[in-house]
């Protein structure tokens, strides 16, 4: 399977901007912790095999970027994209590998983020968008999400808040896109709820 270096070598040809897919695995750490690294590696190999087969179906290429991160790249064909997204993501919601001597098989869930053609963007930027979309899919527990501008490309912002209860300062991570929605964090020192409001 092609790796991250191979992904980085894909030339940026704007007029041929591809559809980029980021694949995020959920449950991989639990597999490694519960079954050991050999089983973890077997799960990653199986994910790679399945993704390569899915990519082949639509004349795409799958990449193993690192650890539990995979990507796929498809030449652009806007007519085909909706079918591709539904087919790839729904066929591959879960990958299971039987483990010798254990009743339960090792399994991971796959979440897909799709970043469609954008003539203005480099491949690296499209990958970032796809990753953001996959992250959103994982959050929403839905098989896949297609990137839209409202997801933004920079996802997390750090906010420092002084706790009204104990006076300690706490760093809170907030999703920028969701800043307009009511959010709160907890004081790291006393556990008081710290409200987060726009513009503060």
Which positions lie near Zn ion, rule CB under 5 A? 163, 165-166, 168, 187, 189-190, 192
* Minimum separation from the CB atom of position 187 to Zn ion (A): 3
Q: What are phi and psi of 140, to 5 degrees?
A: -85, -5
> With respect to Zn ion, which residue has the nearer C-beta, 67 or 167?
167
> With respect to Zn ion, which residue has the nearer C-beta, 60 or 185?
185
Long-range contacts of 95-99 (CB under 8 A, 24+ apart): 95/43, 95/46, 95/47, 95/50, 97/39, 97/42, 97/43, 97/46, 99/35, 99/39
* Minimum separation from the CB atom of position 191 to Zn ion (A): 7
* Minimum separation from the CB atom of position 198 to Zn ion (A): 22
> With respect to Zn ion, which residue has the nearer C-beta, 93 or 191?
191
* Minimum separation from the CB atom of position 165 to Zn ion (A): 4
Identify the H or E element spanning 125.
helix 123-140
Closest residue by Cα to residue 183 from 199, 167, 194: 194
* Minimum separation from the CB atom of position 156 to Zn ion (A): 22
> With respect to Zn ion, which residue has the nearer C-beta, 61 or 194?
194
> With respect to Zn ion, which residue has the nearer C-beta, 122 or 184?
184
* Minimum separation from the CB atom of position 197 to Zn ion (A): 18
Closest residue by Cα to residue 22 from 116, 106, 119, 87: 116
* DSSP one-letter code for 103: S
> With respect to Zn ion, which residue has the nearer C-beta, 157 or 164?
164
Measured CA to CA in angstroms, residue 102 lies from 25, 40, 140 at distances of 22, 14, 31
Residues 6+ positions from 152 with CB-CB distance below 8 Å: 132, 176, 177
């Amino acid at each position: 399977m092609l790796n991250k270096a191979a992904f980085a070598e894909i030339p940026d040809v704007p007029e041929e901007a591809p559809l980029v897919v980021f694949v995020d695995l959920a449950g991989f750490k639990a597999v490694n912790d519960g079954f050991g690294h050999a089983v973890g590696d077997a799960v990653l190999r199986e994910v790679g095999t399945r993704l390569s087969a899915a990519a082949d179906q639509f004349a795409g290429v799958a990449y193993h970027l690192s650890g539990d991160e995979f990507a796929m790249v498809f030449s652009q064909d806007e007519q085909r994209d909706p079918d591709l997204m539904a087919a790839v993501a729904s066929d591959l919601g879960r990958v299971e590998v039987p483990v010798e001597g254990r009743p339960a098989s090792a399994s991971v869930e796959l979440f897909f983020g799709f970043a469609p053609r954008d003539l203005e963007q480099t491949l690296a930027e499209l990958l970032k968008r796809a990753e953001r979309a996959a992250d959103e899919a994982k959050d929403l527990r839905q098989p896949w999400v297609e990137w839209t501008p409202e997801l933004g490309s920079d996802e997390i912002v750090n906010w420092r808040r002084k706790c009204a209860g104990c006076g300690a300062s706490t760093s809170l991570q907030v999703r920028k896109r969701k800043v307009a929605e009511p959010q709160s964090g907890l004081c790291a020192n006393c556990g008081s709820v710290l409200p987060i409001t726009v513009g503060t």
